[in-house]
Amino acid sequence: MLKKFFVAALSAAVLMTGAIATDALAAKFATIGTGGITGVYYPTGGAIAKIINAKKSQYNIRASVESTGGSKFNINAINKGDLEFGIAQADTQYMAVKGLGDWEGKPVSKLRFVFALAPEAVTFVAAEDSGIKSLADVKGKTVNLGDPGSGNRVNALQVFKEIGLKPGDDFRGEGLKPADAPHTLQDGRIDGFFYTVGHPNGNIKEATAGKRKCRIVPITGMEKLLKECPYYSMTKIDMKQYPDATNAADGTVETLGMLATFVTSADVDADIVYAITKEVVENLEEFKKLHPALGAITKESLLEGRTAPLHPGAEKYFKEAGLIK
């Protein structure tokens, strides 16, 4: 009798293992490349994964999030097939598709747009004792431009090129990750840092609330850059979000802005892209509550910032929803 019980139990275990293995094989996996864990990209990717994973019984999609070096890294990883999705600044998306900048002569032809995310601002934080109150004041100073592979480094270099200043010649440019910039600034090892990010942001709060007083420096006089680069527009940072900044009383600070975008590859299954697009759009109010920086998104703004072709899976849903013809 005992022998029969063990045989039956073993048979049941084998059948269960087989069922689990079959289910795992049938599952579709989607890894989302984001950015540093202290920025907006990481929680945004987590919000997308949370929404689609809540429907895994319906779609059998398992979404996961990976902290990465940011826009450039995500696009390159998508191109290689190492990531299914990624978050990238609209400018980085534009340059990859057009074969510009780091992709000079090698356009990423498989890159596809899914939807736009939160607006971002090119943010320049400087220590008050550095004397930096404008871009021109960086001469002879040390400024973090952003880590290699990040969109904010590209933005910082474009800004300084616009005003005729060159890192290495006119000032010292560092390549720190966003998470390392605030404490490095507070330690006195740099005079300021750039970070293209949605607001409010924890890194900016950390920097402006430290013992070493800091301000957010305006970025203006970018007329030529605005004309040359269609993904840029002027925006304003609400200083109520940073009450400890020395220029908090200014109300707003003018700077360059753009959209963050959710991108993928032409090789990714249209059913997966359709499902993610559908669930984000149809749960948009819940999605927006998952991070303060997402609050400005509308159904209409999801289709802005598109400089890569729209993925067929996203296109199918947007047409069904009446958002595009």
258-280 per-position pLDDT tens digit:
989 999 999 999 999 999 999 99
- CA–CA dist 178, 288 (Å, integer): 23
The average confidence (pLDDT) of the chain is: 90
Range in 9-23, 221-235, 250-264, 295-309 the model is least confident about? 9-23
- CA–CA dist 240, 205 (Å, integer): 11
103 SS3 class? helix
Name the token pair of 70: 């940011």
The letter for the amino acid at 75 is I
219-254 per-position pLDDT tens digit:
999 999 999 888 888 999 999 999 999 999 999 999
| Torsion on CA atoms 242, 244, 248, 251, rounded to nearest 10 | 40
pLDDT, residue 25, reads 52
pLDDT, residue 157, reads 95
- CA–CA dist 36, 115 (Å, integer): 21
Whether the bond between 200 and the residue before it is cis, its omega within 30 degrees of 0, is yes
pLDDT, residue 40, reads 85
Structural domains of the chain, ranges and CATH numbers in brackets: 27-119+260-320 (3.40.190.10), 120-258 (3.40.190.10)
The DSSP code sequence of 54-102 is TTHHHH-EEEEEE--S-HHHHHHHHHHTS-SEEEEEHHHHHHHHHT-GG
Hey, how many other C-beta atoms are within 10 angstroms of the C-beta on 289? 11
160-213 per-position pLDDT tens digit:
999 999 999 999 999 999 999 999 999 999 999 999 988 988 899 999 999 999
Structure confidence at residue 37 as a pLDDT band (50, 70, 90): confident
